[in-house]
């Protein structure tokens, strides 16, 4: 598979402990209710992912830790496999790709709700009627939209556009300015959302391009964001699509 271990943090440096995204074909429910711990089936990278180490054949399984994954109406507790490098002593986490680091909601749920606003153009009143759970409110989804608009539109669009053009110089790049963004009075917010919309269309192009090269690669339609986590990791970028712009450690320049 074309998907590698990631290396860099938000400042372009490798953190002490790296999150290594692993493909899991099922859902958070499937993972949590599996009779045997799915993390045991995840392959251990051949090399330590830390750039100051990269020792081959030094990673070993090193226990687990628990974290929550919310799918909208149920919060599952899942175990995450740790690995440790015998050379440098650093530990890393094998994170299933149905969840993004630092987010407690399943990424397919986040994709579903963000798509209703960014792609389908639903307003907040309409979107609120499609909330999958009373535990999910408008303010949470607003934050998702804002964080995706910043991550995809501000930090990642140029990198994705360049990569698509590298794979296919003849690719027709989308230039989208959806009508449903015209109702947004804030021009900066509108600009980011338009760029995030373009990012989404480019991401679908990227998947199609990769699929032609690797026919066995398979992500369902609701796993586009999971696929993108692997793409980010393969690009040696933090595997994160959602960035809250108000935090002091959030990148301020495109990757």
What is the C-alpha to C-alpha distance for residues 228 and 3, in angstroms, rounded to an integer? 10
- pLDDT at residue 2, rounded to an integer: 37
Dihedral, CA of residue 49, residue 53, residue 55 and residue 58, to nearest 10: -70
Tokens of 192: 């980011």
Q: Identify the pLDDT of residue 27.
A: 93
**Residue 19 in 3-state DSSP?**
strand
Q: What is the pTM of this model?
A: 0.90
191 φ/ψ angles, rounded to the nearest 5 degrees:
-60, -45
Tens of pLDDT along the chain (255 residues)?
333 333 344 444 445 678 899 999 999 999 999 999 999 999 998 889 887 888 888 899 999 999 999 998 899 999 999 999 998 999 999 999 999 999 999 999 999 999 999 999 998 888 888 888 777 889 999 999 999 999 999 999 999 999 999 999 999 888 777 888 888 899 999 999 999 999 999 999 999 999 999 999 989 999 999 999 999 999 989 999 999 988 888 999 999
What pLDDT is stored for residue 13 in this prediction?
Answer: 46
Strands 59-70 and 19-22: unpaired
Alpha carbon dihedral 92, 95, 100, 106, in 10-degree steps, equals -150
Segment (H or E) for 117: helix 107-118
Is 54 exposed, middle or buried (CB count within 10 Å of its CB: 0-12, 13-18, 19+)?
middle
Q: Which residues pair with 84 in a beta bridge?
A: 60, 91
Distance CA(132)–CA(71), nearest Å, equals 9
Residue 62 and residue 177: Cα distance in Å, rounded? 48
Please give the structure tokens belonging to residue 106.
């399943």
């Amino acid at each position: 598979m074309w998907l590698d271990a990631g290396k860099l943090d938000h400042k372009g440096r490798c953190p002490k402990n790296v999150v290594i995204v692993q493909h899991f074909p099922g859902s958070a429910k499937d993972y949590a209710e599996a009779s045997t711990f799915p993390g045991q089936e995840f392959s251990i990278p051949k090399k330590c992912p830390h750039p100051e180490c990269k020792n081959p054949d030094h990673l070993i399984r090193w226990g687990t830790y628990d974290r929550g994954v919310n799918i909208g109406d149920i919060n599952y507790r899942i175990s995450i496999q740790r690995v440790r490098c015998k050379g440098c002593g650093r530990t890393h986490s094998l994170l299933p790709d149905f969840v993004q680091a630092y987010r407690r909601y399943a990424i397919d749920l986040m994709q579903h709700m963000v798509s209703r606003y960014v792609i389908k153009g639903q307003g907040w009143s309409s979107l609120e009627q499609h909330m999958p759970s009373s535990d999910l409110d408008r303010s949470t989804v607003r934050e998702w939209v804002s964080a995706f608009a910043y991550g995809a539109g501000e930090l990642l669009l140029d990198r994705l556009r360049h990569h698509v053009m590298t794979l296919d110089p003849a690719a027709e790049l989308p230039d989208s300015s959806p009508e449903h963004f015209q109702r947004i009075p804030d021009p900066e917010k509108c600009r980011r959302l338009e760029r995030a919309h373009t990012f989404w269309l480019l991401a679908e192009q990227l998947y199609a391009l990769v699929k032609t090269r690797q026919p066995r690669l398979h992500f369902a339609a609701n796993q586009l964001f999971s696929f993108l986590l692997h793409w980010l990791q393969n690009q040696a970028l933090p595997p994160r699509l959602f960035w809250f712009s108000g935090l002091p450690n959030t990148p301020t320049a495109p990757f």
